[in-house]
């Protein structure tokens, strides 16, 4: 088994991740668990990508490679511009989507709740990084899969492969009534993951393979679409989300044109 995993580390990672996550999420579905009862198994399942990244790394590279993978979360000296990109690009995209929706006849967004509770945003961001998906996923998608795939493919192709896998991995969550994905349009969500995969790889590669920065960007996107009325459940329409996805593709295209598909950086790839 160890030899098989060593020969096909990415495929092994994908199979193990899907098996682990879908087992736990499957329990939530089969047992019809409420959010109260099902939250812990759901979070355990969500940790599949990161846990399996460490498992496959341990089996194929040993303690030294595990340490290298872990150290990626400690890369915080990356330049202020990348902190600004990770934190504020989500807000620019979502506010742009809401602006387009209003421009084309949609209702003017209501920001009363946000203006009243803005001071909770840093706390929500930290909690979101730890329990909202970034910590549970980013060691796997960016720290392991993107790094391994870039040994064979260019950064854009690696991002597309991970984006497709990332989107498909979420599928059982759409069947769980209390999950974030349940009320989202599946097609828009899958398109959203493809574009975000390029943007996250761009941030990851330009910060020397910092998982901390991909976690921060991941958490910022999750938080932004939660607190701003862009989701169908808060906007009352799919159009704001569709505009947001469109703007994500515009941003991804700009990244590709400016930085190039080979590494998505102006430098030799360091990730």
Which residue's structure tokens are 């330049």? 79
pLDDT band, residue 116 (cuts 50/70/90): low
**203 within 8 A of 214, measured Cβ to Cβ:** yes
| Predicted confidence (pLDDT) per residue in 138-158, tens digit | 999 999 999 999 999 999 999
pLDDT of 269 over the 50 cut: no
Buried b (16+ CB within 10 A) or exposed e, 92-130: ebbbbbbebbeeeebeebeeeeeeeeeeeeeebbeebbe
SS3 content of the chain, % helix, strand, coil (to 5): 80, 0, 20
| Predicted confidence (pLDDT) per residue in 38-77, tens digit | 999 999 999 999 999 999 999 998 899 999 999 999 999 9
Percent of the chain residues past pLDDT 90, beyond the cut? 81
What is the spatial distance between Cα 215 and Cα 15, in angstroms, rounded to a whole number?
Answer: 23
What is the spatial distance between Cα 169 and Cα 193, in angstroms, rounded to a whole number?
Answer: 11
Mean pLDDT of the chain: 93
| Predicted confidence (pLDDT) per residue in 178-189, tens digit | 998 998 999 999
pLDDT of 2 over the 90 cut: no
Structure tokens at 200: 């996250």
Structure tokens at 219: 């958490």
């Amino acid at each position: 088994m160890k030899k098989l995993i060593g020969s096909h580390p990415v495929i092994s990672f994908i199979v193990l991740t899907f098996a682990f996550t879908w087992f736990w999420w499957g329990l939530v579905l089969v047992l019809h668990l409420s959010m109260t009862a099902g939250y812990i198994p759901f979070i355990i399942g969500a940790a599949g990508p990161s846990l399996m990244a460490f498992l496959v790394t341990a089996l194929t590279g040993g303690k030294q490679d595990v340490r290298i993978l872990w150290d990626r979360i400690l890369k915080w000296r990356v330049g202020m511009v990348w902190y600004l990109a990770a934190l504020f690009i989500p807000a620019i995209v979502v506010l742009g989507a809401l602006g387009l929706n209003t421009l084309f006849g949609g209702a003017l967004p209501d920001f009363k709740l946000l203006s009243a509770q803005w001071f909770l945003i840093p706390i929500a961001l930290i909690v979101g990084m730890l329990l909202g998906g970034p910590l549970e996923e980013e060691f796997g998608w960016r720290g392991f899969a993107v790094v391994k795939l870039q040994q064979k493919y260019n950064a854009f192709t690696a991002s597309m492969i991970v984006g497709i896998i990332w989107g498909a991995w979420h599928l059982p969550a759409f069947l769980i009534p209390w999950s974030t994905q349940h009320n989202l349009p599946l097609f828009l969500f899958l398109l959203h993951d493809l574009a975000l995969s390029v943007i996250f790889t761009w941030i990851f590669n330009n910060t020397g393979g910092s998982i901390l920065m991909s976690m921060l960007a991941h958490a910022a996107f999750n938080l932004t679409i939660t607190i701003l009325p862009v989701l169908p459940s808060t906007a009352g329409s799919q159009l704001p989300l569709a505009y947001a996805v469109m703007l994500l593709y515009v941003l991804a295209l700009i990244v590709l044109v400016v930085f190039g598909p080979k590494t998505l950086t102006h430098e030799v790839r360091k990730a």
